[in-house]
Structure 1
Amino acid sequence: MARDIHALISQMTLEEKASLCSGSDFWHTQPIERLGIPAVMFADGPHGLRKQGDGRDDHLGLNESIEAVCFPAACALASSFDPELAKKLGSTLGQECQAEGLGVLLGPAVNIKRSPLCGRNFEYLSEDPFLTGKIAAAYIDGVQSWDVGTSIKHFAANNQEYRRMNCSSEVDERTLREIYLPAFEEAVKASQPQTIMCSYNKINGVYSADNEWLLSKVLREEWGFEGYVVTDWGAVNNRVQGVRAGLDLEMPSSGGVNDAKIVAAIKNGTLDEALLDQTVERILKVVFSYVDHRHPEATFDRDADHEKAVEMETECAVLLENNGALPLKAGAKVAYIGGFALTPRYQGGGSSHINASKVISALQSAQVKRRNVIYTEGFPSDRDEIDPDAFCAAVDAAREAEAAVVFAGLPDIVEGESYDRVNMKLPACQDRLIAAIAAVQPNTIVVLHNGSPVECPWAEDVAAVLEMYLGGQGVGEACDRLLWGEANPCGRLAETFPLRVEDNPSFLNFPGDGKKVKYAEGVFIGYRYYDTKKMPVRWAFGHGLSYTQFEYRDLWLSSDKMDDEGTVQVNVVVSNTGPIDGKEVVQLYISDKTGCTSRPTKELKGFAKVALRSGETKTVTLEITARDLSWYNEDIDDWYAASGKYEVLVGHASDDIQLSGELQFTTNKIPPMIIDGSTTLSELMDNPKTAAALSQILRTTFGSAATENATSTESKDATEQATIFAMPLKTLANFAAMGEEQYQEMLNGLRSALHQGSINH
């Protein structure tokens, strides 16, 4: 049924309109019964329903919620490199929400993984904004296909838990635009999430909830966001300024306190009632989009969805190392060691914590399938503790078996919402036992359960490493399938595993002093930093092995030239040359060779997951646009790619490029230029509008022969050429003994050329 929202608003009192701007309680929007406006319920996500009620309300996962299905956390989901899988997860959650009467699911969480120490990294997707945006948009499409709203979060630059409620993220606009905002931008433009959740923190001194530049200029005016902005729970700073800035809904209820402030501001003339009407309209549109599109056919089949959780985690796990120990051979005597074999860690702590409907461990799965497995604890899953007897029993069991699988990982207490990790290490008892087992058993396999990278000092001494991440309640069954070859690993790392936490580019500035945190590394985070610096890492972004092999060949571009409006298709032939079926993730990176500005050596701009039977060959096609070549130029307040050469790189991982091609790009955008005494000759020569004019000035001043010799690209005297190009105009004037009148004439002539494209003498 069509709703006349404007007519509804016209019937409301000022107080009623203000009341809609905050929740009625912890989880519900405010109803107005006399006008037929119902309450709509929220629930935490992103990887399952944390639906609470009956006085059990909290936003930190402390109290129990309904029994639900826990799917792979975002750290695992992104490692699938599979938007279709993300959409399937979203659709499953959307149907569950409809069955449970939930109007908005709080997710996905897309904050970029700036440091491995962020306690909430398990809930975030990736260190790369392109991958994050594509996975998030697909997830949103899935949830909202069931007419349930999503709330993409936390907007923006919320990349740590330490003092997250009041710390200011000090970050320049280029870095915001290139790293921390693109996932939100992609989600808005591609999928229109019905709500966006603003973060607690300040951005350059202004709280997100008060930030008009963020919530109105960027989000609505530039990106075209149509839904409403809701606070993180308790994130309101100044409620009246929030309305001005574009903040719509405060959660949870303030008990009417902040509603009264809105009413008072309108009555005293400091807030325009038209802004309140816009806010109410945005809220009501989302409320009725759910209320008017209920799905009575929706069911929440926990057993069926559990099987989906197992299948999804099987696609997400990443095989990091394998020297032939995997897959395990049928009938082989294998020792399972470590508390996680029996009690897997499959989710993180905090607001995303799910009351799981069913959990079957890897050990239980092996026992059900009658595999030849013996178990010894070795170390507990919940603390860093060495029991000498358990330690020795584990080493003995490993020595006597044909292979040993050590189930390692981070205890619950190490990573969770509201606090950050203190280091990147596994508990010392685990590292010590893994090293001891590897010394007596050449077929030692380590299975990891963690939400963020860990240091692995034993990595070169073990035969295989399988990263399960926090894989949801199906993690044990998925692990069993992968270890024993019933499934072929196909996940890829969505984040870099550095050798040490000290190698991370944010190390010196994370988490700041509690008042401010400086994003001094700029755009150089994750693989953008490690690859550019040529720094060795444990495992690179995009890395992941398979039980089969893939071959790349015949890279070709639909055109070797492109302009601002064009697109180019990148084609590559990929073959499965191994003995079994598998899936490869083809990754496309762009490298800027123009030298226009400081940029990472390569950036992900395309990917595709392709299934290939043994011996099968397929052509994979990806598309690039001018935006994919661009960086954010603050001088023009826009994306900019300089004319020149770009390299197109295709391969298996950021450190495993198989093929490359060249693309010549031409732009009509000319960055603005201020010409004064500090402007260098190099800057003027690089600008086509001033290059000819400068050459003419130099010829007039120094003579044709000297000018041609100094500025020619074939000049034999590199020192002379470098000196000339680095020279600012004021120094040129001094060397040429220009008087003030002649100097000003030169500046004016160059400025005229810049604005008109020509110069007269």
Structure 2
Amino acid sequence: MKYKELIQQMTLEEKASFMSGKDFWQTMDLERLGIPSMFLSDGPHGIRKQAEAADHLGLNESIPATCFPTAATVANSWNQELGELIGDYLGKEAVAQKVNVLLGPGINMKRNPLCGRNFEYFSEDPYLAGKLAAAYIRGIQSHGISACVKHFAVNNQEARRMSIDTIVDERTLREIYLTAFEIAVKEGKTKTVMSSYNMLNGAYTNENQHLMRVILRDEWGYEGVVVTDWGGSNDRVAGLVAGNELEMPTTAGETNLEIVNAVSSGKIQEKVLDEAVDRLLDLVFTTEQVFNNPLRDKDFDVNKHHRVAQKVAEESIVLLKNEANILPLQKNNNLAVIGQFAKEARYQGAGSSIVNPTRLDNTLECLEESGLTCIGYEPGFERYGKKNNQKINDACTLAKQADVVLLYMGLDEATEAEGLDRASMHIPQNQIDLLNALSEVNDNIVVVLSCGAAVEMPWIDKVKGLVHGYLAGQAGSRAMLRVLSGDVNPSGKLAETYPLRYEDTPSSHNFPGKEVSVEYREGMYIGYRYFDTAAVNVLFPFGYGLSYTTFAYSNIQVDLDKVTFDVTNTGDVAGMEVAQLYVGSASSDIFRPKKELKGFAKVFIHPGETKTVTIAFDDKTFRYFNVNTNKWEVEAADYNILIGASSADIRLETTLAVEGTGAPAPYDQAKLPSYYTGKASNVSVEEFESLLGHKVPKSTWDRSKPLGYNDTIAQCAYAKGGFARFAFKLITFAHWFLRKIGKRETANLIMMSVYHMPFRGMARMTGGIINMPMLDGILMIVNGHFFKGLGHVLKERKKMLKQAKGLSKAEAKG
């Protein structure tokens, strides 16, 4: 151990106290031994350090920081260097604000387009997500602080995220849901990993020995710290044994005592605790060094960071439709700017990632400097979906006078938020009504889309141009105008597939898990892996994006280490092209997607210029996880080497014979027909169990049992206690009423922080206001013993206050 001598000076109680937070955002310090506390801050796309009362949900305003584009946006850049640049600037701001650990990036897979937190994640593809995450981490950690990759693992829905049990087969787990984390750990060398709230195959992730010990520590060689998501600890001792060092936020000493008792009773060896303390001390001291440097930057150049945010946004914008070359806009076009998002930009998500921007560009204010001619602006619709025919009429009156209509559409902040999933893939109907009306009076409509996830577009034939900015951060409005005007040639390409309709999504039959568990019956067939293999038509394929120029591919050459090819700019505008390497096995012995992304390169090419591109193969190019040998293997086969401008636009193709590792095929093909054909959108439970190798657990609540720690407040709907059922009705009424009067964000907060919260969350998230003995009393009330439970709560509350008072007196004397 690195800090053995220091640890020997610590008492058992001090070591245990070191395992949970001092408050909401800080770790424990130990002044007598010179151990400082660390500050952890939200920050996937900007620092969210709160100056006043701390909360995890984005309620209280944070210190101003640059709001960069979200991960879903940056993924469309397909540019690792850009990811490292963002990380670099995030790291500079973290150092300026004395943040030791920046809680990001988030790299969970986009299994389903309705996941409410998709705006915070990179992609449906683990290779792309992992490479970009590693770039972010390198940039952040170049400043001496720590990134914290999250949420480990298979956290792909927000509903019931603190208690849902994710049922997934081992091969899918390894190939789809863990590969991005593997890249982040091995290539990014992240110093911190955040465990997710959910269970994985029957065990909470931060207690899951297979995930935390076997894979993360033993196989990947991870030596850093694991921190819980806030309030995400279930059994503190089990988490510690699995290698989860830090529990956040504080539990006012309650779980520290659990650790002390476990060591004292011999339940766990003290060396397990010592190892955890050693890893946490290393994180504290290595990240604290930068703050002790007298030359440390205590401020940052706001304008320079804003310009970097703009550059990132410009390269991440995706041109999806350009009929009759309506874009770029001509300087002499008279433009009608319509849409409430033009005046008040939709530029980031909602929840714990909300950033208080240092500046915020406004489309209407930036129009003049763009050189475009605007004849007027109309909001056209109410932001949160309320119908308003007068606004539509006013917008149509303006549109009649314009050469081109710029229509700003998208999803509002209350629709995409942490803690809840979207109800559908639709754009709000009042916006569609506006588009329909505008199309009757003007044929030249360009839609500027702002949202953090895939949406359905049955209206697309009514527009000539479609530009998707995703959630482009504080400088996104100016960046968008530079693309529309032609000052910037768009080079973004989609990092996720856009289905024609939600029902085409392979996980739609099993999303979200509504009670006990969620079954990943589609296996590895998510995103383009499913659509390409099952030959299902899509609106926009993975990797798709247009440019103001054109590119030709030629001269492919391949050997065992790499593929090379030429890309020529055949248009008359300089631009960047994202060339994508896909690999598919010609063998049918082991089921696989038709093709999988295994490399990419973004190149800048002048008109008429040809550049030779080389994409090297790596350890992930040909591998698959064999569930019989329990390790990565290579199948001996001919492999199709495909170079494309998207997953559906393959420009070059060749084959390569690859020697295998000789492992026997792990599957009985007759028992897995859906997986061998790739048509895995509605797999039977029997076939899924054949893939799993065991029976699936019961997915519904047992309503005959009393409610316990890990049951949710939503389950009060069938509680034995009348008071609990009344409380449930009160909560659901409050949610309905707040939505009815337009307070959608507050209504969402009820769903996020109350409705889906497990009862243990009352103790884990209240900073010691409620402890576990008090929670026992609350559960008595819930389960029909009102007076007994109330008495127990009051007794335990009195006992807790007495203990706290005694501790304060002891500290004062000390």
TM bin, normalised by shorter chain, reads 0.7 to 0.9
How far, CA to CA, are the matches of 2:630 and 2:620 in structure 1? 14
Matched residue, 2:518: 517
| Structure 1 equivalent of residue 64 of structure 2 | 67
- Aligned partners of 1:662, 1:359: CA distance in 2, in Å? 50
Q: Equivalent residue for 2:568?
A: 575
TM value normalised by structure 1: 0.86
1:653 aligns with 2:654: no
Aligned equivalent of 1:276 = 273
Using the alignment, how far apart are the partners of 2:375 and 2:541 within structure 1?
34
Partner of residue 495, structure 1 = 496
- Equivalent AA in structure 1 for residue 529 of structure 2: R
Partner secondary structure for residue 400 of structure 2: helix
Instruction: Check the 8 A contact 1:588/1:605 in 2, yes or no.
Output: yes
Please show how residues 386-405 of structure 1 align to structure 2 within 5 Å.
386-405=387-406
Name the SS of the counterpart of 1:627 in structure 2: coil
Deviation, 1:437, is 2.0
Of residues 3, 8, 11 in structure 1, which corresponds to 2:9? 11
Partner of 2:664: 671
- Once the 2 structures are TM-superposed, how far is the Cα of residue 436 of structure 1 from its aligned partner? 2.6
Local SS of the residue matching 1:400? coil
The answer to whether structure 1 residue 590 and structure 2 residue 590 are counterparts is no
Write out aligned runs for 1:62-101 (5 A).
62-101=59-98
Evaluate the alpha carbon distance shift between residue 627 and residue 310 of structure 1 in structure 2; reply closer, same or farther with a 3 A threshold. Answer: closer
TM-superposed deviation, 1:413:
1.0
User: Retained in 1: the 8 A contact 2:103–2:149?
Assistant: yes
Alpha carbons 2:570, 2:607 under 8 Å: kept: yes
Q: 1:156 and 1:411 mapped to 2: Cα distance? A: 28
The 5 Å alignment of 1:97-496 reads 97-294=94-291, 295=293, 296-298=295-297, 299-323=299-323, 324-369=325-370, 371-380=372-381, 382-496=383-497
Equivalent position of 2:631 in the other structure: 638
Contact 1:231 1:251 in 2 (8 A): yes
Letter of the 2:303 counterpart: D
Q: Distance in 1 between the 2:431 and 2:63 partners?
A: 34
1:559-570 aligned within 5 A: 559=559, 567-570=560-563
Structure 1 pair 65–337 and aligned structure 2 pair: CA distance change class (3 A):
same
Partner of 2:553, secondary structure, is: strand
1:673–1:615 Cα change, 3 Å:
closer
CA distance in 2, matches of 1:378, 1:358: 22
Which ranges in structure 1 are unaligned for 5 or more consecutive residues?
560-566, 681-761
Aligned residues of 1:627 and 1:639 also touching (Cα < 8 A):
no
CA distance in 2, matches of 1:556, 1:71: 39
TM-score by length of 2: 0.80
CA distance in 2, matches of 1:4, 1:114: 40
Q: Look up the SS of the partner of 1:555 in the other structure.
A: strand
Counterparts in 2 of 1:522 and 1:33: CA distance versus 1, 3 Å: same
Verify the 8 A CA contact 1:379 1:386 in the aligned structure 2: no
Rounded to whole Å, the distance in 1 between the matches of 2:413 and 2:376 is 22
Asked whether the 8 Å contact 1:162–1:514 carries over to 2, the reply is no
Aligned length: 666
CA contact (8 A) 2:73 2:470 kept: yes
Deviations, residues 380-428 of structure 1 (Å, cap 9, x unaligned) = 4521133222212212322321111100000111110000000000010
Give distance in 2, aligned partners of 1:607 and 1:370.
Answer: 35
Deviations 1:241-261 (A, max 9, x none): 111111110001111000011
Q: Which residue of 2 aligns with 1:713?
A: none
Contact 2:115–2:157 (Cα < 8 Å) also in 1: yes
Question: 2:410–2:427: 8 Å Cα contact kept in structure 1?
Answer: yes
Are the structure 2 counterparts of residues 440 and 355 from structure 1 closer, same or farther at C-alpha, using a change threshold of 3 Å? Answer: same
1:35 and 2:36 equivalent?
no
SS of corresponding position for 1:191:
coil
> Which residue identity does 2:50 align to in structure 1?
Q
Residues 410, 426 of structure 1: 8 Å contact kept: yes
Q: How far did 1:514 drift?
A: 2.2
One-letter amino acid of the structure 1 residue matched with residue 633 of structure 2: Y
Q: CA deviation at 1:374?
A: 2.8
Paired position in structure 2 for 1:538: 539
Distance 1:469 1:629 in 2: 33
1:466-499 per-position Cα deviation (integer Å, ceiling 9, x unaligned): 0000110111000110111110100010000111
C-alpha separation between the residues in 1 aligned to 2:578 and 2:669?
A: 46
Equivalent residue number for residue 755 of structure 2 = none
Alpha-carbon deviation of 1:10? Answer: 1.0
User: What amino acid is aligned across from residue 438 of structure 2 in structure 1?
Assistant: I
Please, which runs of 5 or more residues in structure 2 have no aligned partner?
Answer: 671-814
Task: Please state how far the C-alpha of 1:292 moved relative to its aligned partner.
Answer: 2.0
Query: Which residue of 570, 592, 596 maps to 1:599?
Result: 592
- Matches of 1:168 and 1:666, distance apart in 2: 39
Deviates further, 297-306 or 210-219: 297-306
Q: Cα distance, 1:370 vs. partner?
A: 5.5
Deviations 1:354-376 (A, max 9, x none): 01111112221103445311333
- Read off the aligned partner of 2:461 and give its amino acid letter: E
1:192–1:226 contact (8 Å) kept in structure 2:
no
In the other structure, the counterpart of 2:681 is none
Q: Is the 8 A contact 2:382 2:388 kept in 1?
A: no
Stretch of structure 1 that moved more, 636-645 or 10-19 = 636-645
Q: Which whole-Å CA distance do the structure 2 matches of 1:663 and 1:71 have between them?
A: 41
The structure-2 alpha-carbon separation of the partners of 1:4 and 1:516, relative to structure 1 and needing over 3 Å to count, comes to closer
Moved more, 372-381 or 411-420: 372-381
Offset of residue 4 of structure 1: 5.7
Q: Which residue of 2 aligns with 1:726?
A: none
Distance 1:208 1:379 in 2: 46
SS in 2 for 1:219: helix
Shift of residue 626 of structure 1?
5.3
Partners of 1:369 and 1:94 in 2: how far apart?
Answer: 31
| 1:378 shift after superposition | 4.3
Cα deviation code 1:662-715 (max 9, x no counterpart): 0001123322789xxx999xxxxxxxxxxxxxxxxxxxxxxxxxxxxxxxxxxx
Separation of aligned partners in 2, 1:509 and 1:225 = 33
The answer to whether the 8 Å contact 1:309/1:474 transfers is yes
Whether contact under 8 Å (2:166, 2:199) holds in the other structure is yes
Paired residue type of 1:159: N
Q: Following the alignment from structure 2 to structure 1, what is the Cα–Cα distance between the partners of residues 619 and 211?
A: 24
Q: CA deviation at 1:439?
A: 3.5
C-alpha distance in 2 between matches for 1:8 and 1:399: 76
**Shift in alpha-carbon separation, 1:526–1:381, aligned structure 2, 3 A:** farther
Does the aligned pair in 2 maintain the 1:28–1:42 contact within 8 Å? yes
1:477 partner amino acid: R
Letter of the structure 1 residue corresponding to residue 516 of structure 2: K
Bigger Rg, structure 1 or 2: 1
Q: State the percentage of identical aligned residues.
A: 45
- Structure 1 residues 312, 679: closer, same or farther in 2, change over 3 A? closer
User: Structure 2: how far apart are the matches of 1:415 and 1:384?
Assistant: 14
| 2:517 is aligned with 1:551 | no
Structure 1 CA distance, aligned partners of 2:666 and 2:339?
Answer: 63
- Alpha carbons of 1:665 and 1:406: their partners in 2 closer, same or farther (altered >3 Å)? same
Quote the Cα distance in structure 2 between the aligned partners of 1:542 and 1:501: 19
| Contact map agreement 1:340 1:381 (CA 8 A) in 2 | no
- Aligned counterparts of 2:624 and 2:382: Cα–Cα separation in 1: 45
For 1:315, give the aligned amino acid: E
